[in-house]
């Protein structure tokens, strides 16, 4: 069912070329995929026509007017990546369909058409584990290759803990990565899902990958943690890094300890403290020689959209004055602002979306437009 509090940023994933080549051959339509130990092929639904947006107002008009289909009526998160063939791929968290909710979904947009990527079993595009644990997207990005893209989706493992009508009855268990191959002009196909670390609902353990950014050959994985103390609603921020080719090998990750990159995650330095800190999921990106962390301060109880600026991926991060106010109401939830640096870019600003939801799930089911993101443009400090 629909829930708040998911994550999103940038994640690049590279597979060994020989493996990618094998999987590409196996998944292209001219080849028999039944002999390959891979997920069953997905397809795309009939397109939903739309007029491309040229500004933020147009984005919000699209969100509030684009008709839904049986496969996609409403969702939150909304992380996107521009594919090499000019299409834009979006991933969403809990998604409302005609038959109920699925954990995640994927849409592909071209110049005038949006279509949902639907697995053969009509379920989530990243399927649940056999024990029922599902995957909520955090970020998405691509690695371009001749004739196809490899798309990586970072996701959080999530376990239901109670009444499906309770929007907060869940536990976050740790990060994962889902790999997709997207042939030029073709349908994304799931290749692999990799879980990082043991399942744990301990919020004081950094959730590495709450935000991810890439510079040159390095992947920077930002972790957020909450100490579980009374009246501390925000999350601290720390950072690890790894070479792109070594992303799936956690033994190769190195953690910034305030002076150097070390092997110990326990000694990772706090870049932003939990008191007055970031949301559990945020955006971190580089632009114009500076680094920016975009988040709602103090998670759900907060209202201030803040941008922290730094000269490097390790900080020091200095908070701006609030650039927007996105308070939650008694029943309406506004949460998890995510930056979209390459969406309708304009110098000195960034487009940000935030998720919307309602504590009364029946209201969302009656009106799925209540469960779609909202966009705004804010200045960079």
Question: pLDDT band at residue 330, thresholds of 50, 70 and 90?
Answer: confident
Q: What does the pLDDT read at residue 34?
A: 29
CA distance 350 to 343: 8
Long-range contacts of 125-132 (CB under 8 A, 24+ apart): 125/42, 125/91, 125/188, 125/190, 126/153, 126/155, 126/178, 126/190, 126/193, 127/39, 127/193, 128/103, 129/157, 132/159, 132/160
Closest CA to 63 of 114, 125, 122: 114
The CA-atom distances, in angstroms, between 184 and each of 59, 148, 150 are: 26, 5, 11
CA distance 140 to 179: 10
The 10s digit of each residue's pLDDT in 29-49 is: 333 332 234 456 888 887 888
Q: 17-379 has which CATH code?
A: 2.115.10
Are residues 185 and 168 in contact, defined by beta-carbon separation less than 8 angstroms?
A: no
Average pLDDT in the 135-147 region?
Answer: 85
- Is beta strand 134-145 parallel, antiparallel or unpaired with respect to 148-160? antiparallel
Domain boundaries, the chain: 17-379
Q: How many residues does the chain have?
A: 381
pLDDT in tens, 241-273: 998 888 888 899 999 999 999 999 999 999 999
Strands 88-97 and 148-160 turn out to be: unpaired
């Amino acid at each position: 069912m629909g829930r708040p509090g998911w994550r999103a940023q940038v994640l690049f994933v590279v597979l060994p070329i020989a493996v990618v080549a094998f999987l590409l051959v196996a998944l292209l339509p001219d080849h028999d995929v039944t002999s390959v130990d891979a997920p069953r092929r997905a397809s795309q639904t009939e397109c939903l026509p739309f007029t491309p947006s040229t500004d933020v107002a147009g984005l919000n008009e699209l969100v509030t007017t684009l008709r839904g289909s049986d496969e996609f009526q409403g969702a939150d998160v909304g992380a996107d990546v521009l594919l090499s063939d000019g299409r834009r791929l979006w991933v969403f968290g809990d998604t409302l369909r005609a038959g109920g909710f699925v954990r995640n979904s994927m849409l592909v947009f071209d110049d005038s058409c949006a279509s949902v990527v639907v697995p053969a079993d009509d379920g989530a595009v990243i399927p649940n584990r056999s024990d029922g644990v599902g995957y909520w997207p955090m970020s998405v990005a691509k690695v371009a290759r001749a004739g196809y893209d490899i798309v990586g989706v970072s996701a959080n493992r999530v376990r239901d803990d109670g009444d499906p009508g309770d929007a907060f009855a869940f536990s976050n268990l740790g990060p994962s990565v889902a790999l997709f191959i997207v042939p030029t002009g073709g349908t994304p196909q799931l290749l692999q899902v990799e879980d990082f670390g043991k399942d744990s609902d301990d919020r004081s353990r950094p959730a590495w990958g709450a935000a991810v950014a890439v510079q040159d050959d390095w992947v920077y994985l930002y972790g957020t943690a909450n100490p579980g103390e009374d009246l501390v609603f925000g999350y601290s921020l720390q950072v690890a890094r790894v070479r792109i080719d070594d992303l799936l090998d956690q033994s190769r990750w190195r953690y910034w300890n305030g002076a150097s990159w070390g092997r110990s995650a326990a000694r990772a330095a706090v870049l932003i403290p939990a008191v007055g800190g970031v949301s559990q999921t945020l955006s971190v990106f580089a632009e114009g020689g500076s680094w920016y962390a975009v988040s709602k301060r103090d998670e759900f109880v907060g209202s201030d959209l803040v941008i922290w600026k730094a000269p490097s991926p390790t900080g020091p991060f200095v908070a701006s004055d609030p650039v927007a106010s996105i308070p939650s109401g008694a029943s309406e939830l506004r949460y998890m602002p995510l930056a979209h640096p390459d969406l309708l870019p304009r110098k000195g600003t960034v487009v940000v979306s935030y998720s919307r939801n309602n504590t009364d799930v029946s209201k969302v089911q009656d009106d799925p437009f209540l469960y779609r993101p909202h966009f705004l443009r804010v200045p960079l400090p």
